[in-house]
Each structure stands twice: as structure tokens, then as C-alpha cells.
Amino acid sequence: MTRIENSKRTILNLAESLLQDKGFNGFSYAHISSELGVKNAAIHYHFPSKEDLGIAVIRRYRERFKLWINNSRVKDLTPEAKLDWFLGIYTNMRADQGKVCLVGAMEAEFNAIPDGLRDEVQGMHKELLVWLQSTLEEGRDGGVFAFKGEPADKAALILSTLQGALQMARALGTKKFHNVIEQIKLDLLK
Amino acid sequence: MTRIENSKRTILNLAESLLQDKGFNGFSYAHISSELGVKNAAIHYHFPSKEDLGIAVIRRYRERFKLWINNSRVKDLTPEAKLDWFLGIYTNMRADQGKVCLVGAMEAEFNAIPDGLRDEVQGMHKELLVWLQSTLEEGRDGGVFAFKGEPADKAALILSTLQGALQMARALGTKKFHNVIEQIKLDLLK
DNA sequence: GTCTATAGGGGGATAGAC
DNA sequence: GTCTATCCCCCTATAGAC
């Protein structure tokens, strides 16, 4: 990996972390550059505008997620194990400095972020939903999940719940977050 | 009502609307003053700091909610009607320019808002949970609600779901929001 | 209560040297 | 690729006149 790819990667890591910590309007190039030990002009070299940076963070996450779900380590799991893997992503965010999910953070500020970033967030949210829906279908067909209504709606509910629960945990603590995770399972598993 | 109380009230209305639309770091005194047709110094007269303003908005909402739930028009409803009333609050937010709930907006930016505001948000979230929990208990005891687990956890789940669903709707549309509302009911009603 | 005026800082972004 | 330097705008906030 070349030096520039390394710089870009480090910047994206910091930006992703800051987005999940403070939101799009809560962080600045100065946060990144000082942490990285460079001047803010260096960040602008890699990502000319803040919108570019935000888009790149979401785009990278989408590609990462696609790789995960198409990898046999996830693809070949049972529906129940897939669900646990997915819930684990959110549990890890909570454990990692009380971060919230990217989609939730950006949608909360949706009317105060650039257009191009909105489109990217929309695409990410759709992809998460599609995967979760198909997992729910698989699990219901296999007899391990039980729920009324359509898999698409149950998927939207669970995703909304996770998004909200990570935010709730910031005010009410990690214990409450874990209680919600358990409740999701109670409402889904046979 | 005196003129100053009217001004304060109008400012609070605008601030509440802006908080739900753009978040704490997405709106400015200029947004309010231009809308109100005054200069920003006039806003500072009523609310010296932005933190003061944010706190006042949340505090007013908490008092409003307390009045509602203690009023016989809500208090004397059946548990099922209470739930519908509560869900209606969120449906109305969605219908009102795609707003999100105050708690969700503030918690998404939690690490980028003033300390005093955080405390106020925490208090509000607790109060919403307490009311919802007692309504769920009442409904389960009365045989109209059915769910596994503790009422406190189911309440936290439903509140997280509503919070997330309003945000999700910004990217995926109102139809998806209504589907989630219906799914909440499917997962709760006997 | 609202105004004018302004302080003081931070933000995103760019030009040009190295 | 990163630097220095700087521009320009918007922001929160205050002082003092009316």
C-alpha cells in the first residue's frame, strides 16, 4: 500500500470515528488534522470538500458491509447466527466509545448535510435493510424466527430499533442498550 | 400574556422546530431572528446562550408532556388508546415537515452539545420511558397487550424504534415509517 | 425589548512555496 | 503530499444607544 493510500485510509478512519461520535456538523478538519499531526490543508488535498469526505466514509462502509455479507464466514451461518453477528456490530459500536451508527447520525442531521451525502446514506440504509430482510425470511422459513407481518417491515423495525437504541444509550447507559438487544430477540426468536 | 412572554414563546417554537429539523449544531440564532423579523441580539436578550435556549426548549416539552399525561383526556383512555395517542405524536412529527423527535436529535449529537442540555435530554428520555412502561404494564395486565420480557425493556425497545423510524423516514420515506408503526402494533397487540 | 455595531473565534476552502 | 499563509464567511456573544 502506497503512502497516499495509507494517509487516505487514516483520514477515513478518523472521519468515520468522528461522524459516529459528533455527527457531520460536530466535527471539523481541524479535529482530523490535529489528531493526524498535519495541517488541515493536507486533508483538503485528499478530500477537497467536507462533502467528499463524508461521502467517502459512507461509501467505504457500504463496500465493507458488502464484502462481509458475501464472505462465507457470514454467508454460511445459520439465520440465528447471522442475526447475532449483525447485533454484534451494534454492540461493538456501543462498546467503542459509545458510538452510534453512521446511518442514524446522518439521518438525524439529514436536513443539515450536503445533498450528495444524503444520497449515499439512503443507499446504505437500503442495503442494510435488504440483507436483514432476507435473513429474517430465511429464519422464518427455517422455523427459528417467529413474527407477524412482512419480513420487510420487521427488518425496518429492527434496524430502527438498533439505531435508536445506540442513541438512547448515550443518555441512559449501556445496560439499557443491552436490555433492548435482548428484547429484540425475545420479540423474534421462537 | 405579556409581549415578552409572546416573544419568548415564538422563539421557543422556532427553536424547537429547528432542533427537530436540523439538530443543535445545524441551526443558528440567525435562522430564528430572520424568521422572526428581528436581529439576533434580540434573541440573546431572551436566551443569553444557545445552551440556555436548547435547555428551555426541552424543559418546555417535558412540562407539556407532563400536562398531557396527567390530563383526563389521556389519563382515562384505555391502554390501547393511550398507545395510539402516543404513536400519533410521532406520526404527527413525521407529517410535520419530516421532523424527528427531540430526544433522538439531541442524542445523535450528544457528544457535541453543551453539558446542561445533555442533562435535560436525559431527564426527558427517562420520563417518556416511565410513562410508556406503565402503559404497557396496564395493557398487559388488562389482556390487550402481549409481549415477552419486562415492560421496562419493551418500553425502551418501542421508544428506540420510534426514534429510529423517524430518522429512517428521512432517507426512505413516509410509507416505510408507517409500516414500522404497524409492525410495532403487530408485535404488541394480542 | 430591540436596535446598531462589533468583538472574537472557528469553520471550510484555496494559492503557491517546498 | 504537506507546508504557510490567508481569505471569507458564519457563528456566538456583548456593549451601549434608543
The model's pLDDT over A56-78, given as tens digits with 9 standing for 90+, comes to 999 999 999 999 999 999 999 99
Contact residues for B90 (Cβ-Cβ < 8 A; gap 6+): B101, B162, B165, B166, B181
Q: Looking at the complex, does the CB of residue A165 fall below 8 Å from at least one CB of chain B?
A: yes
Q: Is residue A13 in some structural domain?
A: no
Residue B8 is which amino acid?
Answer: K
Residue A71 within a domain = yes
Q: Which of A109, A117, A129 to mutate to test the interface with B (most CBs of B within 10 A)?
A: A109
Interchain contact A94–B (C-beta under 8 A): no
CATH code of A73's domain = 1.10.357.10
User: Stretch B155-183: mean pLDDT, rounded?
Assistant: 99
Q: Looking at the domain assignment, is residue A120 inside a domain? A: yes
Which range marks the domain in which residue B164 is found? 55-188
Q: Give residue-wise pLDDT tens across range A96-108.
A: 999 999 999 999 9
Residue B93 domain-assigned (yes or no):
yes
Q: How many domains would you assign to chain A?
A: 1
DSSP state of B145: B
> Mean per-residue pLDDT for A42-62?
98
**For residue B121, is it within any domain?**
yes
Which of B150, B157, B174, B186 to mutate against chain A (most A CBs within 10 Å)?
B157
List the one residue out of A43, A41, A42 whose CA is nearest residue A15.
A43
Confidence of residue B5 (pLDDT cuts 50, 70, 90): confident
Q: Does A92 touch chain B (CB under 8 A)?
A: no
Q: What letters, b where the CB count within 10 A reaches 16 and e where it falls short, cover B37-60?
A: eeeeeebeebbeebbebbbbbbeb
The verdict on residue A41 lying in a domain is: no
Does the residue B126 lie in any domain?
yes
A160 contacts on B by Cβ (under 8 Å): 160-165, 167-168, 180
- Helix (H), strand (E) at residue A117: helix A115-141
In a domain, A78, yes or no: yes
